Amino acid sequence: MWTDFLWPGAMLVGLVVLLFTGYPVGFALAGLGILFAVAADVPMVFLSMGVQRIYSGTLINWLLVAVPLFIYMGMMLESSGIAERLMKSLATLVGGLPGGYAFGVAVIGVIMAASTGIIGASVVMLAMMALPVMREAGYNMRLATGLVAASGTLGILIPPSIMLVILGDQLQVPIGDLFMGAVYPGLMLGGLYVLYILGVAIFAPHHMPPPRNREKVALGRTLLSLALDLVAPLALILSVLGTIIAGIATPTESAAIGALGATLLALVLGRLPFATLKRAVYETAKMTGMVSYVMVGATVFSLVFRKLGGDAMIVHLFDFGDVSPYLTLFVIMALVFILGFFLDWIEISLVVVPIVMPVIAKLDFGLPANDVVLWFAIALAVNLQTSFLTPPFGYALFYLRGVDKDISMTTIYRGIIPFVLIQLVALLLVIAIPQIALHLPGAVR
């Protein structure tokens, strides 16, 4: 039986080996696909289907235009200084309380996640603004770094999120449904962070002491300043998500609205010199090129993998007989979680998801087929967020280390443990209560 799966099994082993060598993922995927096509004597005419899929599925895919637009929107918002002003207003309002700065970081993380979705920019921005004042106030730096890293990665889950755009393309799920389905889980995860901070503030306030000799502030003036600072990001969030939920615009069109709005906002605030515009365009092009080439490589790899019997191998591998479908789901989620220690979400989304999706599609969870795919996609998105925090290759950890060289990696690693556990709790809740992900899309339909 297993001899029938020799070629696809060898492809997976080869992919793992190349990924651990640090070889570029796009080259590894495409190269392995072509190499095994030749070795297994796959007709070269068959590979022409790969060219067709690359052209129609990636290069002229209207849906994927949203990816560079959302990236550009995030870069523009980073330069506008909105987050900096929000952080100062919140710090002024609640900074005098135990855990005040921590609450401010969690709230800013949620707001910026719903505005930008650019993880690196969010983590670096929060670290630069929050870590110095937290250190000065006497915060436990394990807690401070863990909170900054976790709050900065909320943008990968809370829409607009480029991960949800790519997952929707891979799973053939409407992006609008994915955006709506991710709203409650994203807010729930942010709420769990706040509950954790509240618990620490009550039972271990010495880990998050208020600053000493803090000047009194005018409450009315501070609230007014905070309200004014919230206008711009809330308007941008409503212009992007509101138009999708109301059916006024497609996700791609709403991404264009958001990109234009962020540019105008930076211009009005006087934060749009030519150098900023040039940097935003360059970073957008670079990140989009990276994602696009991984998609091209994944197309070639999956085409050959399926031709050699890969789908049948995966279905056989996850065939546990007459057991609960939740056991199969648990194994897949555990596999994705473990892969997150070594791979980033792009690689997992483009390589692993198409392989395991046929398995999920055959399981009976007592839900309509379309709802199963949507629910699985949202649960997977919650799971993939942990890949930014789990060592040794969690990107958020290295962003933090790059901002503050005085913090050791050991401190950062220990600091993210409670927040990874919180993310796993959120994942279990989404799996146990599917309506967390399905209620809002169902209500809007």
Give the model confidence (pLDDT) of 125-134 as tens digits. 788 778 888 8
Q: Which stretches of 204-324 are DSSP H helices?
A: 219-237, 243-245, 251-268, 274-307, 310-317
Average pLDDT of the segment spanning 195-199: 92
| Cα–Cα distance for residue pair 192/201, rounded to 1 Å | 14
Q: Give the side-chain half-sphere CA count within 13 A for 17.
A: 7
Domain total in the chain:
1
pLDDT at 186: 92
Buried b (16+ CB within 10 A) or exposed e, 370-395: ebbbbbbbbbbbbbbbbbbbbeeebb
Q: What helix, strand, coil percent values describe the chain, rounded to 5?
A: 80, 0, 20
Q: Strand, helix or coil at 283?
A: helix
Interior CA angle at 430 toward 233 and 445, to 5°? 65
Q: Which stretches of 308-393 are DSSP H helices?
A: 310-317, 325-339, 345-347, 353-361, 369-385
Tokens of 249: 């615009």
* Residue 1: pLDDT over 60: no
Structure confidence at residue 2 as a pLDDT band (50, 70, 90)? low
Query: Token pair 């970081």 is at which residue?
Result: 105
DSSP 59-120: IT-GGGGHHHHHHHHHHHHHHHTHHHHHHHHHHHHHTTSTTHHHHHHHHHHHHHHTTT--HH
Structure confidence at residue 344 as a pLDDT band (50, 70, 90)? confident
| Cα–Cα distance for residue pair 256/49, rounded to 1 Å | 31
pLDDT at 418: 94
Q: How far apart, in Å, are the Cα atoms of 162 and each of 166, 194, 396?
A: 6, 25, 17
Domain housing 384: 2-444
| Cα–Cα distance for residue pair 283/288, rounded to 1 Å | 8
Burial category of 358 from C-beta neighbours within 10 Å (exposed 0-12, middle 13-18, buried 19 and up): middle
Least confident piece of the model among 115-119, 296-300, 440-444: 115-119
pLDDT at 219: 63
Give the model confidence (pLDDT) of 28-76 as tens digits. 888 998 899 888 888 877 777 777 778 777 777 777 788 888 888 877 8
In the chain, the largest separation of any two C-alpha atoms, in whole Å, equals 77
* Mean pLDDT of all residues belonging to the chain: 82
| Cα–Cα distance for residue pair 108/321, rounded to 1 Å | 47
Please state whether the peptide bond connecting residue 160 to the residue before it is cis, i.e. omega within 30 degrees of 0.
yes
Average pLDDT of the segment spanning 106-122: 76
Least confident piece of the model among 21-30, 35-44, 332-341: 21-30
Structure confidence at residue 321 as a pLDDT band (50, 70, 90)? low
Q: State the Rg of the chain over Cα.
A: 23
CB 318 within 8 A of CB 135: no
Smallest CA-to-CA distance from 86 within 60, 114, 109, 68 is with 109
pLDDT at 96: 66
Highest mean pLDDT among 104-113, 222-231, 399-408: 104-113
Structure confidence at residue 445 as a pLDDT band (50, 70, 90)? low
pLDDT at 378: 94
Please state whether the peptide bond connecting residue 392 to the residue before it is cis, i.e. omega within 30 degrees of 0.
yes
- Identify the residue with better confidence: 296 or 50: 296
Classify the C-alpha dihedral 288-293-296-298 as positive or negative: negative
CB 303 within 8 A of CB 49: yes
* Residue 329: pLDDT over 60: yes
Give the model confidence (pLDDT) of 234-284 as tens digits. 888 788 888 877 778 888 888 888 888 888 888 887 888 888 888 888 888
Residues 6 or more apart whose Cβ sits within 8 Å of residue 171: 353, 357, 373, 376, 377
